[in-house]
């Protein structure tokens, strides 16, 4: 069965899911998106993703021609139309087609599309052995230039950092901000564990407020950890007991080496393991398939 894509209110075949070359999402990266995950025919944290999408759009003054409830239904309908159980869902809203100038007022209607596809999971090895990553020269976007809290289609800052990671022979990059504080990775948030403390950078250093990040902070508190947002440097990562990344697709990935320094014992840590086990308990199990909840 070929994929059915939601495009501007209709479910169409993959080949028919095309947008204009005049779409400002394509011409200027003018748009917002979400990466969402479904487990067991149920969309995880759908409300939180929709909320973040509309918040990003609000700051961009991008009017989404659907209510939040209609958008939630569109996401679930797309999952259902493809009869997917476990899926990765990409929800995109662009400024829509306009002329060749920047002026967003020339774009009369936003383009909305939703792709629900099989999830491409990270190899098991990443979780069993942990990842080696590096800090890269490209700094994270300054919040007063393009705030990383906005999940926009303009991902070149992240892509440049990703290229630097690939050039260094690793999978992921840690981006610092202009003051040298740790922000996040190209598509995941970062945490460090020291004793019973679980620390992650605050949004004002320049990060996306990850939905997995929020879930992990809640789980951490439930496990009795002292969880806080705080600024920290590369040095703090090097001397941490454990470091891990969080994201919708990745869930929780242990980091065992940063810039060639071994982190903790050089194997995935026990706190990271406990958090991942607890995380798996909160993802959807059984329930009414394809229900908006």
Cβ at position 218, least distance to ligand PMP in Å: 13
Q: Give the HSE-up count for residue 20: Cα atoms under 13 Å, Cβ half-sphere.
A: 17
The span from the CA of 17 to the CA of 59, in Å, is 28
Under rule CB under 6 A, residue 162 binds ligand PMP: no
Selected binder of ligand PMP within 188, 199, 206, 264 (CB under 6 A): 188
Which residue's CB comes closest to ligand PMP?
210
Q: Interface with ligand PMP includes 177 (CB under 6 A)?
A: no
* Shortest Å distance, C-beta 146 to ligand PMP: 12
Instruction: Confirm or reject binding of residue 206 to ligand PMP (CB under 6 A).
Output: no
Among residues 126, 157, 164, 150, which one has the least CA distance to residue 244?
126
CB of 188 to ligand PMP, least distance (A): 5
**Residues in contact with ligand PMP, total (CB under 6 A)?**
14
DSSP string covering 189-220, please?
EEEEEETTEEEE--GGGT----HHHHHHHHHH
Q: Which of 286, 283, 293, 288 is nearest to 38 (CA)?
A: 283
Catalytic residues: 151
Over its C-alpha atoms, the chain yields an Rg (Å, rounded) of 19
Print the binding letters for residues 211-230 with ligand PMP: x by CB under 6 A, - otherwise. xxx-----------------
Considering the rule CB under 6 A, would residue 42 count as an interface residue with ligand PMP? no
Q: Using CB under 6 A, which of the segments 18-26, 72-80, 97-105, 185-193 binds ligand PMP?
A: 185-193
| Contact flag: residue 158 with ligand PMP (CB under 6 A) | yes
Interaction of residue 210 with ligand PMP, rule CB under 6 A: yes
Question: CB–CB of 271/226 below 8 Å?
Answer: no
b/e map 25-57, b = 16+ CB within 10 Å: bbbbebbbbbebbbbebbbbbbeebbebbbebb
Q: Kind of pairing, strands 10-13 and 226-229?
A: unpaired
Q: Of these, 30, 164, 172, 184, which contacts ligand PMP (CB under 6 A)?
A: 184
* Site residues for ligand PMP per CB under 6 A: 35, 158, 184, 187-189, 208, 210-213, 246-248
């Amino acid at each position: 069965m070929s994929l059915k894509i939601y495009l501007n209110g209709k479910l169409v075949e993959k080949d028919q899911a095309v947008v204009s070359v005049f779409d400002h999402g394509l011409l200027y990266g003018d748009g917002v998106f979400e990466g969402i995950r479904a487990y067991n025919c149920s969309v995880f944290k759908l409300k939180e993703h929709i909320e973040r999408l509309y918040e990003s759009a609000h700051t961009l003054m991008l009017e989404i021609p659907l209510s939040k409830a209609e958008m939630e239904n569109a996401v679930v309908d797309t999952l259902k139309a493809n009869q997917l159980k476990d899926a990765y869902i990409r929800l995109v809203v662009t400024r829509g087609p306009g002329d060749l100038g920047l002026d967003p007022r020339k774009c009369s209607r936003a383009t909305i599309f939703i792709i629900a596809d099989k999830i491409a999971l990270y190899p098991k090895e990443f979780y069993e052995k942990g990842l080696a990553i590096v800090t890269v020269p490209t700094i994270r976007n300054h919040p007063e230039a393009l705030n990383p809290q906005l999940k926009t289609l303009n991902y070149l800052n992240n892509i440049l950092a990703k290229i630097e990671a690939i050039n260094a022979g690793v999978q992921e990059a840690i981006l610092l901000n202009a003051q040298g504080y740790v922000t996040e990775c190209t598509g995941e948030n970062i945490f460090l564990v020291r004793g019973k403390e679980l620390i992650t950078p605050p949004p004002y250093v320049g990060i996306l407020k990850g939905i997995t990040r929020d879930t992990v902070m809640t789980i951490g508190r439930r496990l009795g950890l002292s969880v806080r947002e705080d600024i920290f440097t590369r040095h703090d990562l090097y001397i941490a007991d454990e470091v891990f990344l969080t994201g919708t697709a990745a869930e929780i990935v242990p980091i065992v080496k940063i810039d060639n320094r071994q982190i903790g014992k050089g194997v995935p840590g026990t706190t990271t393991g406990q958090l991942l086990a607890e995380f798996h308990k909160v993802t959807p199990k059984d329930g009414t398939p394809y229900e908006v909840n």
